[in-house]
Amino acid sequence: MPVPTDKSASSSYRSQQATIASLSLLEKLDTIPALLTVDPTDTAYLAFCKSAKVEPKSEVLSDGTLAHWIGEPGAGRVVVNFHGGGYCFPAGKDMFAFMHALIKPIPDTACLFLSYDLAPGAPYPRQLQQASMLMNHILTTLSISPQNIILTGDSAGANLVLALLSHISHPHPGLGSVQIPKVEMEGKFRGAVLISPWVDFSTDDKSFQTNKLKDCLGADSGTQWSSAFLDSAPHDYYNEASTAPASWWADLQVENIFVVAGEEEVLVDGIRRFVGTLEKGMVEGDSGGKVEFLCVQGEYHDQPALDLMFGYGEGDEGVQAKAVKGWVRSKL
C-alpha cells in the first residue's frame, strides 16, 4: 500500500514515520560520542531566537548556569522547562519552538528553559543542583509565586522535574563535593507536566520487548545514558523515581500533575506503574494534589519531540502535544 503523502492523512502514516524516525535516532544517538556532532543547548536557543526574530534574553545564575527566556522576562507567570536527551544530549531548536507555541496564547506568561550541564562530563546530581539554583532564583530574585509556576519536562527532563519535587519535600543530602541548595517556598506549584518521564533505568519490562521495533529508544541506549548520568553514584529516589515508595510522594508541593506517554514506547510499563505509586502516595498523604495520566495508542516516546522532527504544526501534531498545551493553558 502506498504511503500517504499528506502528513495528516492517517494514523498509519504517523506510525510509518515514527518507525523511520526511530531507526534514524537509534543510529545517531546510540553512543555517547555522537555528542560531538550535536550543537549545545545555548546554540540551539540562539538559532531559535534568530528564526523567531526575537531578542535572546537569559538569566545567569551564580555559578554561570544559564536559563533562557521564551517570552518576556517581566511576565507574572512562568513555565519552567527541563529538556530531555538522557542527560547526555542538549535541547534542539525545535523544543524552544514548542515551548514558544505553548505559552504564546497565555497572557502574562513566559518560559524559562534551563541549560543544564550534560553527562558524562557533569554526572548526577549536578543537574538537580542547577535546577534548585534556578528555582531559588525564580522565587527570590524574580519574586514569582509558586502558584504562578508550572514545571514541565520531557523524558530525562521529566526525571529532573521529579527530582526537584523530591528535593523540595525531602532535601537532598548532597553527594561528594556537589551540594544541593534547599528550596523553601510558601504554597505549592500550580502544576507539573511529565512527558514520557524516565523514571526507571531498568530494561526488564515487557514493553521493552513489545515496542522495541517501534520506539525511538532501545535498551542499550537507555543503559548507556543512565550509566553516564549516574557515573559512580548509587540509584536513589531522586534519580530513579520508580524506586521510591508511595509514602515518598505524600507531601509533594504541587497542586496538579499531568503525565503523558505513548502506548508504543518502551518505557510505558514503567511509567504506568510509577503513576499508580505516585497517585497512591498523593491520595494517602491527603495533599489535595491530583494526578492525571494520558497514554495514547499509536504514539511513542516523547511524541511531541517526534512531531517536531516531522514538521507538524499545531493543527496536525499528535494527541500528546495537543493535550500538554491544552492542560498548561487551562491552569494558567
| DSSP state letters, 98-153 | HHHHHHTTSTTEEEEEEE---TTTS-TTHHHHHHHHHHHIIIIIS---GGGEEEEE
Q: For the domain 11-331, what is the CATH code?
A: 3.40.50.1820
Question: Mind spelling out the 3-state secondary structure of 263-313?
Answer: CCCCCHHHHHHHHHHHHHHHHHCCCCCEEEEEEECCCCCCHHHHHHHHCCC
- Min mean pLDDT across 51-65, 82-96, 117-131, 197-211 is at 197-211
pLDDT at 80: 99
Whole-angstrom distance, CA of residue 86 vs CA of residue 127: 12
**Tell me: the pLDDT tens digits for 154-197?**
999 999 999 999 999 999 999 999 999 999 999 999 999 999 99
Domain spans of the chain, in order of start: 11-331
Q: What is the pLDDT of residue 72?
A: 96
pLDDT exceeds 60 at position 270: yes
pLDDT given for residue 14 in this prediction: 52
d(CA 293, CA 255): 15
- Residues near 145 by beta carbon (within 8 Å), at least 6 away in sequence: 186, 187
Does pLDDT of 217 surpass 80?
no
Instruction: Quote the pLDDT of residue 38.
Output: 65
pLDDT-wise least confident of 32-36, 122-126, 286-290: 32-36
Task: For residues 27-46, give the mean pLDDT.
Answer: 68
What the block records as the C-alpha cell of 206 is 515487557
Predicted confidence at residue 248, as pLDDT, reads 97
110 backbone φψ class: left, alpha, beta (φ>0; ψ -120 to 50): beta
- In the predicted model, what is the mean pLDDT of the chain? 89
Least confident window among 71-85, 163-177, 210-224, 243-257: 210-224
84-142 per-position pLDDT tens digit: 999 999 999 999 999 999 999 999 999 999 999 999 999 999 999 999 999 999 999 99
Does pLDDT of 22 surpass 80? Answer: no
The whole model's pTM is what?
A: 0.91
Predicted pLDDT of residue 23: 45
Contact 262, 217 (CB under 8 A): no
pLDDT on residue 27: 42
* More reliable by pLDDT, 71 or 9: 71
- Per-residue confidence (pLDDT) for residue 24, from 0 to 100: 44
Q: What is the pLDDT of residue 9?
A: 39
What mean pLDDT comes out for the span 199-218? 84
Rounded to the nearest 10°, the torsion over CA 7, 11, 13, 15 is 130
pLDDT of residue 215: 75
